[in-house]
Structure 1
Amino acid sequence: MKLLFINILSEAPSASFAEDREFVSEYVNTAHAASEKMHLYEYDCILLYCSLQNTATREVLAEIGKLALNSGLIILSADISVEYRIQALNSGADDCLTIPYHSEELGARIRAVIRRKKFNARDQIHFANTVIDLGSKHVFVWNTLIPLTRKEYDIFIYLVMNHDKTVSHTRISDYLWGEDADNK
């Protein structure tokens, strides 16, 4: 799963969740850099560390709306008020989490947002004679477990998500390795 972490504010929260091998993460710290990334690459989820009163935040939210991305959006903020969370959700966020947060909770929220956005909130995907269990990351063909490495699983999921499109080697590489794709 590919994430874009946008840090509009000067102090960044801990991003230890992204160091987990489950996510391929890219980081930017300006609205302009975020816009470039969103135009160039596809992300499953965007994490926006921001203040809704910040002009750059409004620029990023407008850009996300303009691009009509199929990415999930989670806003991370130190503001803990209910009014702020309501404003964040009404601004287009799929979820809002206050800082400090527990990295496992953020990981679970990321997976839940992606499941809702990409797989209609299903825990299993049935595709032809194949069943993909998103929770356990197991793939079954004709009820037989197919052992896959993490990268094989990621490639398979990406191809299933894009089953109605032609997907180039470059797009697969960009999705799996992000900016490091040229080095793979």
Structure 2
Amino acid sequence: MKAGRELFLNLGFNGCGVQEIATASGIPKGSFYSYFDSKEAFAMAVLEEYWSDVEERFGGILVDTKLPPAKRIARYFHELSEEKAANNYAHGCLIGNLSLEISNASSQVRSKLSDIFERWEASLVRCLREAQGKSEITRHADLSNLAAAIIESWEGAAMRAKVEQKRWPYRRFEEVLLPALLQG
């Protein structure tokens, strides 16, 4: 999976074929189909592994009660953004990358992406609900829409940072947009 994730991040879904995936994974091309019915099925597995990894490494931030909920959200997105520096911001986010590249071509991948976005939003809604309960954000905020807007805005910053290969789109998200969204 890791080799496939790296290929998708570096070359995109359409930029690599089953042969490149098999070679990077150290398996014969024919063995690929022993594990996956199609390249799309592989992409869905890579996405699930990618999201599980994100949740494992960063999800705890959103439930860390040592910080107020709004600060948890800010820290969570800061840490996600900081991770992108390792590759000079050139990779972007696999979720956003594949959303743009293949969601129109594969209903299965689109469904997997939708599921991941829903899970991501749900984790933010839980933290936003806490923030609302502590009067950190307005009690009138539609938390589902707010969570979606935050994610969509961060994904936009990820896309721009990938193009520019610089941190400033993330910084603008963290310093300008996120505080405005959380003020409700």
TM-score, structure 1 normalization: 0.31
Q: Which has more helix, going by share of residues?
A: 2
- Please identify the structure whose Cα radius of gyration is greater: 2
Higher RCO, 1 vs 2 (CA within 8 Å, ≥6 residues apart): 2
Q: Which has more strand, going by share of residues?
A: 1
TM-score, structure 2 normalization: 0.31
